[in-house]
Structure 1
């Protein structure tokens, strides 16, 4: 795979550098924005370590997560990866795909989200591939996502694949032998949020069109509405989103909806403000509620009354616009 990636990258005009080891130099800078730009324009093609190949629980999305890559080439100003990946935000693509996939079958029936949940048992043992990357963003270079889809599609056990994306080039996925074992969720939001805060991604209309194409190709699809924010006229903005999604889907499509509100940690806030000092994204701890985990970590979420109002509104809109869809969770 490494040779294929290098050939495709060179054809796109990228500079190819072969390293003797796995250490990338020349990225560090006293200016966080300069370091960010250098890192975001760097793709490291490498081998996943034994630790990186070990699947981990990933509630509430799926039983397990596994990584085809870490890091993302997009420029979302609320990036959930900020502060969670060590070092500059380089995208690392793993080329030892067969070894990564070998770790998955022994976990059949061992999860706690779909494996033992009566409401989601039809999904089988689920594996999330987009926890630390957007795998469709890397598909034109690697082809590893369509290979992974085919690997799941050709199996006879209960394993199924899930991933979410903000990109829309789906030709290789439509041609893959998916066997109904993959659910592709499009990460979407109100138009104003998508336009202002999601640089380098496909336009909202293109994502919804891609969802429609995949559904017509027999895929199970979904909407990951994230991160939900109470922008001006948020009620109307999200209702328009659900209406547009409904219009893009063919009759009888198998659709899920996940609703995820905006939140941040002190560490991610500091990182994001270093990357995007002029951002208009609200990250004011004074207007948020603090949630603490069992390890003492802090997360800033919207106050409970606003959360209740947004939840009731968006769940009602989703049910009205997408009556056949399954709402998986609100968080």
Structure 2
């Protein structure tokens, strides 16, 4: 559970019951609470990018979600479900470091009912059957769930929708409050996992992989469809041995007899944009992320800008490794994609 050092509440959020309750809760916790007259946030006073980043990661903003047009979310889902913005983790490679470079804090919303009503309109269009929503496109929602209960409300909401599904991914392990919800198997919970080498080097402030797999075991036992996002896959000395060991951990720790659905896998190799590299090196000056452009291939993506990716030969190696390793799992699984 995330315990912020400072909380800022947009004035409009106090018109909602949740906003009032959270204000009292944080005051009772003796956490400083300031009221913002508008949704403009300009309180990060650090002298450097690094200092603003560190301050922001300890800040929680409570606000009202005003933009209720959902963005597309390929290849994960049809639409984003914007429950939270920002993340408490400090993963060096994360694209949120670029998208939220001036706003590294986490923002939660008090008008969850409005967000779910908008989701209903997208479902009713019948454009996709079922309509799939991604609850973690702009955040990791688990660390702030004890405050918002946004996931719990969304899971039970989608549990009643015959033509819609919810899915989200997390690196965090506080899933106990989700275990007894009426999900009706309409929500897929995925866990982002990686090797110990990658987690120790780049995923600062996040649980170890064994803890994540143990959390996955809990939600499997609770009847949820479960998946794993193995990303980003890095090439480094002994990378093959490490990723095969990761697959072996899944084999050893997951409960075969409890599975109601095949385990899904989404496997994404490391890639970066020039903009992302620039900002990452501003925040993490000593970063050891492998971002040497001469060792990569430049490729244009679906959003009109280019990324540096591993070569076709390396991607082929990654595919071969994971297809081989996953074949040894003793339970049903489905590889969504390896890219």
TM-score after normalising by structure 1: 0.91
In the alignment, the residues of structure 2 paired with residue 86 and residue 194 of structure 1 have an alpha-carbon distance, to the nearest angstrom, of 22
Counterpart among 268, 284, 291 of residue 283 in structure 1: 291
CA distance in 1, matches of 2:206, 2:25: 20
Give how far 1:247 is off: 2.1
The CA distance in 2 between the partners of 1:4 and 1:204, in whole Å, is: 34
SS of the aligned residue for 1:127 comes to: strand
2:102 equivalent to 1:94? no
2:7 alignment counterpart: none
2:31 alignment partner, one of 14, 29, 33: 14
Q: Which residue of 1 aligns with 2:198?
A: 193
RMSD over aligned CA atoms reads 1.7
**Which residue of 2 is the match for residue 44 of structure 1?**
61
- Residue 23 (structure 1) shift: 2.2
Alignment of 1:169 onto 2:174: yes
How far residue 185 of structure 1 moved from its aligned partner, in angstroms, is: 0.2
Shift of 1:29: 4.0
Q: Does the C-alpha gap of structure 1 residues 106 and 65 become closer, same or farther in structure 2, counting only changes over 3 Å?
A: same
Structure 2 runs not aligned, ≥5 long: 1-17
Following superposition, the deviation at residue 84 of structure 1 comes to 2.0
TM-aligned CA distance change 1:160 to 1:19, over 3 Å: same
> What SS does the aligned partner of 2:165 have?
strand
Question: Cα deviation per residue 1:233-254 (whole Å; 9 max; x = unaligned)?
Answer: 1111111111111222222522
Question: Secondary structure of 1:320's match?
Answer: coil
* Residues 173-182 or 23-32, more deviating: 23-32
* Structure 1, unpaired ranges of 5+: 116-123
Counterpart for residue 260 of structure 1: 268
Residue 296 of structure 1: how far off its partner (Å): 5.0
Q: Which residue of 2 aligns with 1:57?
A: 72
Alignment-derived partner of residue 215 in structure 1: 220
TM-superposed CA distance for 1:305, in Å, is 0.6
Task: Specify the SS of the correspondent of 1:316.
Answer: helix
The one of 122, 125, 128 equivalent to 2:131 is: 125
Aligned to 2:97: 82
Give the CA deviation at 1:11.
5.0
> Take 1:10 and 1:256, find their aligned partners in 2: how far apart are those partners?
42
Name the residue aligned to 2:10: none
Q: Is the 8 A contact 1:242 1:322 kept in 2?
A: no
SS of corresponding position for 1:308: helix
Q: Does residue 35 of the first structure (1) align with residue 52 of the second (2)?
A: yes
Distance in 1 of aligned mates of 2:326 and 2:110: 39
Per-residue deviation, 1:266:
0.8
2 CA distance for matches of 1:4 and 1:68? 18
**2:253 alignment partner, one of 244, 248, 251:** 248
Residue 319 of structure 1 corresponds to: 327
Check whether the contact 2:109–2:148 (CA below 8 A) recurs between aligned residues: no
Contact 1:319–1:325 at 8 Å: present in 2 too? Answer: no
Query: Is 1:179 equivalent to 2:194 in the alignment?
Result: no
Structure 1 residue 70: deviation in Å? 0.9
Range moving further from structure 2, 178-187 or 83-92: 83-92
Aligned partner (choices 119, 132, 137) of residue 143 of structure 2: 137
Within 5 Å, give how 1:231-246 maps onto structure 2: 231-246=236-251
CA contact (8 A) 2:256 2:330 kept: no
